[in-house]
Amino acid sequence: MHILEVESTSAAEVDRHLQMGVQMLAKGQLHDALSHFHAAIDGDPTNYLSYYRRATVYLALGRARPGLQDLDEVIKLKPDFTAARAQRGGVLVKLGRLEEAHIDLEHVLRKDQNHEEANKLYVTIEPLKKEILEAYSSVRTGRYQHAILLLKNIIERCPWDASLRELRVEAYQAVGDVASAIADLRVTTKLIQDNTSGFLKLATLYYQTGDVEQGLNEIRECLKLDPDHKECFTFYKKVKKVNKLVTNAQEFANEKKYEDCTATASKILREEKEYEEVRFLAYDKLCQCQSRTDSEAAVEACQRAIDIKEEARLYCDMAEALLLEEKYDEALNSYQKALNIDEGLQRAKEGVDKVQKLKKQASKRDYYKILGVKRTAGKDEIKKAYRSLAQKWHPDHYEGKEKEKAEKMFIDIAAAKEVLTDEEMRKKFDQGEDPLDPEQQQQGQGGQGFNPFQHFHFQHGGFPGGGFHGGGFKFHFN
């Protein structure tokens, strides 16, 4: 024979949990209070006070659903408990369940016609019903701003009614206030259990605003609730792919892999043909990266990005691409537009100064033109152009006055190679300063003259700069 031992909680133990719960509630330690009320209800599921107090904690935590369930249980156990009915009436108003609230509040007032809270709520119900009907009518007839104003006041009194927030989302979207629509949608995902449609809509709105990563996070929440949700899964695949492309494009830009950056940004445009804020992400990267590889295409990409979202930094990117095209006046205009948006933008201020220097420099020696290369040319391209020109203008090939001209050209070619293959000197030149101009260097060094070619002479045996042999002259820099 087996003896079955049943654990039971004594009345004293239940009472202790209730007292501890009340103490924790008074101190504002809501989760601790909740634990004690759980224990009290487990010990005695017929004690209506335990449910009532737990309902109070749930409501203080903003958890309307379990709070309402506990109040239902209280009234089932003790139908004449007026305080519980009054509290349930208040909860039902907040949930927008006005007919049910009306019944509870009437019940309270029949027993206590002077019940202050019940009277206050009771007189709001009919006006609330009319306002809600007007709000729905306003959205249906396209009076969205009026609906938004109405719903602001309604939702303050019915904050737990998800349907009202969904109605306001529709109005916000219609007037282009996506941020407010997102805020309301986020609340509905907490108010409605397993709200897959809410997460899908939230993900779509984030994606449409160009926040692809957050869109991906929200659509994952939908799939957590329902891994087989067809619409969520289809959208997830697209957003995941676009997010990967956006991330890769940024990484390539950071790593100065400009051709990879350009190719990846172009894929974003092929993948997303509808939402301009997402396409903006692609044009933004093309604007940055193509200026290093294809300045003309970069200018076009910058303009497309600006057409979607006008930002000061984009005008600076465009100006830098225009400078590579030697379109100084247009570049100056772009920097000025950047300053019109942000008058304190240091990059734009420095850009204006740079353009002025480059315009002045244009009338002097241009090392890029001497070598016949673009401003985006890499070191290998520069060295190749230098070797070709050095061979062409080698003074050994000329006599008389032609030899003098060749020597001058030879020195210019060597100077161009010297500047453009040295990172620091090239940077200075691109900023409008000639590092081999004695006058500019004298100004920059407090009057101390500088000329790397002042002791320059030819010596039979090789080509300038070393690394190229075939008979001729060799430069020495002293």
Instruction: Please tell me the chain's helix, strand, coil percentages from 3-state DSSP, rounded to the nearest 5.
Output: 75, 0, 25
Do the domain assignments include residue 438? yes
**pTM for the whole thing?**
0.71
Residue where a domain stops, chosen among 109, 130, 151: 130
**Per mean pLDDT, which range of 81-95, 285-299, 438-452, 454-468 is the poorest?**
454-468
Would the pLDDT of 443 be above 70? no
Buried b or exposed e, range 66-102, using 16+ CB within 10 angstroms: ebbebbebbbebeeebbebbbbbbbbbbbbbbbeebb
Mean pLDDT value across residues 378-386: 85
> What is the pLDDT, as a whole number, of residue 468?
38
Residue where a domain stops, chosen among 78, 107, 130: 130
Do the domain assignments include residue 157? no
Place of tokens 């506990």: 70
> What is the pLDDT, as a whole number, of residue 362?
66
How many domains does the structure of the chain reveal? 2
**Per mean pLDDT, which range of 13-22, 131-140, 203-212, 367-376 is the poorest?**
367-376
Band (56; pLDDT cuts 50, 70, 90): very high
pLDDT in tens, 251-268: 999 999 999 999 999 999
CATH number of 123's domain: 1.25.40.10
Q: What are phi and psi of 423, to 5 degrees?
A: -55, -45
Residue where a domain stops, chosen among 130, 149, 165: 130
Question: Which residue did the predictor score with more confidence, 248 or 360?
Answer: 248
Do the domain assignments include residue 431? yes
pLDDT in tens, 155-188: 999 999 999 999 999 999 999 999 999 999 999 9
User: Radius of gyration (Cα) for the chain, nearest Å?
Assistant: 38
Would the pLDDT of 419 be above 90? no
- Tell me how far the alpha carbon of residue 252 is from its chain's centroid: 18
Token pair of 194 as six digits: 């397993």
What percentage of the chain exceeds 70 in pLDDT? 89
Do the domain assignments include residue 281? no
Q: What are phi and psi of 474, to 5 degrees?
A: -130, 135
Mean pLDDT value across residues 1-8: 38
Would the pLDDT of 474 be above 50? no
Do the domain assignments include residue 436? yes
pLDDT in tens, 62-81: 899 999 999 999 999 999 99
In one-letter notation, the amino acid at residue 420 is: L
Do the domain assignments include residue 454? yes
Q: Please calculate the CA angle 48-52-54 and round it to the nearest 5 degrees.
A: 115
Question: Which residue did the predictor score with more confidence, 267 or 372?
Answer: 267
Q: Please calculate the CA angle 334-339-340 and round it to the nearest 5 degrees.
A: 95
Would the pLDDT of 469 be above 60? no
Do the domain assignments include residue 360? no
114 lies in which domain range?
11-130
CATH number of 421's domain: 1.10.287.110
How distant, in Å, are the alpha carbons of 91, 259, 325 from that of 373? 76, 19, 12
Place of tokens 């809270």: 117
**Per mean pLDDT, which range of 25-29, 256-260, 359-363 is the poorest?**
359-363
Place of tokens 């009338």: 363
Would the pLDDT of 400 be above 90? no
Mean pLDDT value across residues 296-311: 95
Do the domain assignments include residue 164? no
Check residue 192 and report its DSSP letter. S
Rounded distance, CA 436 to CA 364, Å? 12
Token pair of 277 as six digits: 């804020």
Band (448; pLDDT cuts 50, 70, 90): very low
First to last CA, the chain: 111
| Residue of 254, 314, 313 lying closest to 283 (CA atoms) | 314
